[in-house]
């Protein structure tokens, strides 16, 4: 059984919380809201947040709500980053304002409009760093960028998360098979 929901969430300085039908978290980086399901209560005391549930039927929602609240508090205070690498000859990226342009071996460059609250920095045209305060938004933008050219298992070309381990597959061999005589 998970005990995530019972963990206390420490509140950093500069983070304000308003608890009603949903929890509103405001900090130096931005403002987020976290839904509070029925049967889950949030108490604030001594610079900490404690979540409690009415019955054991709310145990999954208890852990989920606590995880969402902790991510929102961390996001508005320190933010989140996601790093990605582009591998392949001639593959590169460029960013101008809120528009990122990718050259990934297709016949045309691909432009991606970055949503509000997400910033993209590019080092050496092949190392991307996404930063923002909403963990879900950062993950979704990173997944969308990765889907433009997922890593190829045969040549290891494409866009991957930094530190992502890929298994390279062995290609075909010349002799044998149904076509050889």
Superfamily in which the 80-161 domain is placed by CATH: Ribosomal protein L6 (3.90.930.12)
Asked whether the domain spanning 80-161 has the same topology as the one spanning 4-77, the reply is yes
**Contact present, 13 and 78 (Cβ < 8 Å):** no
For 62-109, how does the pLDDT look when each residue is reduced to its tens digit (9 = 90+)? 888 889 989 999 888 888 999 999 888 888 889 988 998 988 888 999
Statement: the pTM of the whole predicted model exceeds 0.85: no
Whole-angstrom Cα distance, residue 28 to residue 25? 10
**Contact present, 40 and 65 (Cβ < 8 Å):** yes
Q: Which residue ranges make up each domain of the chain?
A: 4-77, 80-161
Architecture of domain 4-77: Alpha-Beta Complex (3.90)
pLDDT band with cut points at 50, 70 and 90 for residue 39? confident
Average pLDDT of span 113-120: 89
């Amino acid at each position: 059984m998970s005990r995530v929901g019972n963990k206390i969430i420490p509140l950093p300085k500069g983070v304000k919380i308003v608890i009603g039908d949903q929890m509103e978290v405001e900090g130096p980086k931005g403002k987020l809201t976290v839904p509070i399901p029925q049967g889950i209560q949030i108490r604030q005391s001594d610079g900490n947040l404690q979540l409690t549930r009415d019955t054991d039927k709310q145990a999954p929602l208890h852990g989920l709500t606590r995880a969402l609240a902790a991510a929102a508090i961390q996001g508005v205070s320190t933010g989140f980053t996601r790093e990605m690498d582009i591998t392949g000859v001639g593959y590169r990226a460029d960013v101008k304002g809120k528009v990122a342009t990718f050259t990934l071996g297709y016949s045309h460059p691909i432009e991606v409009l970055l949503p509000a609250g997400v910033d993209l920095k590019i080092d050496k045209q092949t190392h991307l760093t996404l930063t923002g305060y909403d963990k879900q938004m950062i993950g979704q933008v990173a997944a969308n960028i990765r889907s433009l050219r997922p890593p190829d298992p045969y040549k290891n070309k494409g866009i991957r998360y930094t530190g992502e381990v890929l298994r390279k597959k062995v290609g075909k061999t010349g002799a044998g098979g149904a076509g050889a005589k």
